[in-house]
Amino acid sequence: MTNPLVKRKQAQIAEIARSAPLVDGPGAAANPTSASTIEWVESEIRVLEHERARASTTVETYLARIREGQLLQPRLLELTRSYDRAKQQFDNAAAQNARAQDSQDVEESKTNEQFQIQDRAFPPEIPFKPDSALFVLGGVVLGLAFGVGSAAAREFVDQTVRCEDEFASYFPDLPVYGVIPNLEPARPSHGGVDWRLA
């Protein structure tokens, strides 16, 4: 990489060399003005090259620092996370300590105070629960409902024909040829013989 100032000085040297008179031979005398100008330009070139070298060194230093920063970035992130966790734990501990201190201060301030009952409680003269009348009434109502429902269900389910007239009402087109009496002694009859249709 060539410094633009160096290029400019080289162009100036070339311009001066073109405008200077040519030397005819080795013994000919050189122009003193041209020689002093060339020396000044060469000294300027040396100064600029020195500055370029110093600038290159500075650039290399900065590049090395950038590379080191890229290597240290994960470590910095880890330290940042550790700091955030430690700060959160410290904040939580400080808040708990403040609440505990407040509770202790309240207890210490209430130690010497006397509490007085404003409204005294009196037991009821009659018990509020259980209400016996309500439970008895509920039991009677539920028993009646269950009994009526059971009787109705049994009546609907039972398909037995109990007498000749009931058979005639169910089947009016069929004649009755005879009846068989119920001879089971265990079942009481209703004042007569229990007949079964045949």
Parse the chain into domains and list their residue ranges: 1-19+34-79, 131-159, 161-198
Residue type, 69: G
Roughly what angle, to the nearest 10 degrees, separates helices 4-19 and 32-109? 170
Q: What is the pTM of this model?
A: 0.27
Cβ pair 64, 28 in contact under 8 A:
no
CA distance 154 to 159: 10
Q: What is the pLDDT of residue 138?
A: 94
CA distance 17 to 9: 12
Max mean pLDDT range (76-85, 89-98, 114-123, 137-146) = 137-146
pLDDT above 90 covers a percentage of the chain that reads: 12
Q: What is the pLDDT of residue 22?
A: 46
pLDDT above 70 covers a percentage of the chain that reads: 77
CA distance 6 to 14: 12
Q: What is the pLDDT of residue 193?
A: 47
CA dihedral 110, 114, 115, 116 (to 10 degrees): -160
Picking from 46-50, 85-89, 160-164, which range would have the lowest pLDDT averaged per residue? 160-164
Cβ pair 183, 195 in contact under 8 A:
no
Angstrom distances, CA of residue 167 to CA of 153, 174, 181, 182, 187: 21, 9, 15, 16, 22
